[in-house]
Amino acid sequence: MRRRLAPYALILPGGLWLAIFFVVPMVVMLSFSLMQGDVVNGFRLTWHWQNYSEGLSTYDSQLIRSLIYGVLATVACIVLAYPVAYWIAFRGGARKTTYLFLILLPFFVSFVLRTFSWKFLLADDGIVLSPLKDIGLLPQDFHVIATGFAVVAGLTYNYLPFMVLPIYVALERVDPKLIEAAQDLYAAPTQAFLRVVFPLSLPGVFAGVLMTFVPVSADYVNSTVLGGTNNTMIGNIIQNLYLVNTDYPQAAALSFTLMAILLIGIFLYAKALGTEDVLEVATR
């Protein structure tokens, strides 16, 4: 009896934690998203589904922008992270741990602080742009801050380690003998990579995409700090609705809309990639 209960006892603390701090707020928020009212007079549950339709029609451009930024930053993360992860996994030698530590080093400084330092670096008259403008390489009115590019670049920078680590873990598990076997079987180095190494690293890419795309699409710090008024993401809207307008029902409805879109997106992505295959390779 005791033996059979032991596993449940072990998940109890974590399970309770999740129940109290995740499930309960989710239910509360879900009910909020169907309420009407304001802070002064209180909110009442009226099954007001219009919160969703109004949210979608009012903030559709911010939602779409968030998803586009999310996709762009995630793709940029893959492109930048893959070679780094590959190099550490196959060429890192005895210093692998050092390189991984360096990848994680930015986490020792606050996320918001690092994003502000970007603002300082890339300011119109900052230390990067003003010398280039002075020597005439860039026009005087050139700017980076307050553009969509700055937001995507900031997002890419902030979430890059979350892409490097899972890809590294997947590549690290690829037996170098498999690469030799591919070359022995007449595969040129690029073929060996495309047909053997890359497919075997897909579980890592899959995990990396999950770990970047979701938080990136919901991020509001980067667009607040690096974006201008034209680069608002859905995260900014939700934050504003909660903290400034105190329109909790609308904010909650938008949150759930975003969540639903992300879940559907991930589901389609997993389907397209063939999760079964991915998981099969991952659990090998």
Partner 1 sequence: MTQTEEADSAIGTELAAIELKGIVKTFHSHGDAVAAVKGVDVTIGEGEFFSLLGPSGCGKTTTMRMIAGFDEPTEGDVFLHGKNVVGVPPNKRDVNMVFQSYALFPHMSVLENVAFGLRRKGVAKDEAARRAGEMLEIVDLKGREKRRPRELSGGQQQRVALARALVNRPSALLLDEPLGALDLKLRQAMQVELKRIQREVGITFVYVTHDQNEALTMSDRIAVMNDGRIEQLGSPREIYERPASRFVAGFIGTSNVLSGTVSRTGSGKAIVEPGPGERIMVSHEAVPGDEIELTVRPEKIDVRSDPPDGDGCALRGTVNEVVYLGMFTNYNVTTSTGAEVVVFVQNVSSADDVATRGDSVWLSWDPRHSYVIGA
Nearer to partner 1, 196 or 254 (CB): 196
Residue 170 CB-density burial (10 A; 0-12 exposed, 13-18 middle, 19+ buried): buried
What b/e sequence results for 120-139 when a residue is b if at least 16 CB atoms lie within 10 Å of its CB, and e otherwise?
eebeeeeeebeeebeeeebe
Nearer to partner 1, 25 or 189 (CB): 189
Task: Please state the closest distance from residue 170 (CB atom) to partner 1, in A.
Answer: 12
Nearer to partner 1, 3 or 177 (CB): 177
CA 219 to chain centre: 8
Nearer to partner 1, 68 or 281 (CB): 281
Nearer to partner 1, 38 or 276 (CB): 276
Task: Please state the closest distance from residue 172 (CB atom) to partner 1, in A.
Answer: 15
Cα–Cα dist 117/123, whole Å: 10
Please tell me what DSSP assigns to residue 142.
-
Residues that bind partner 1 (CB under 8 A): 175, 177-178, 180-189, 191-192, 195-196, 199-200, 277, 280-281, 284
Task: Please state the closest distance from residue 186 (CB atom) to partner 1, in A.
Answer: 4
**Alpha-carbon dihedral sign for residues 259, 260, 264, 267:** positive
Task: Please state the closest distance from residue 171 (CB atom) to partner 1, in A.
Answer: 14
Task: Please state the closest distance from residue 194 (CB atom) to partner 1, in A.
Answer: 11
Cα–Cα dist 210/275, whole Å: 13
Q: Note whether 178 and 213 are within 8 A (CB).
A: no
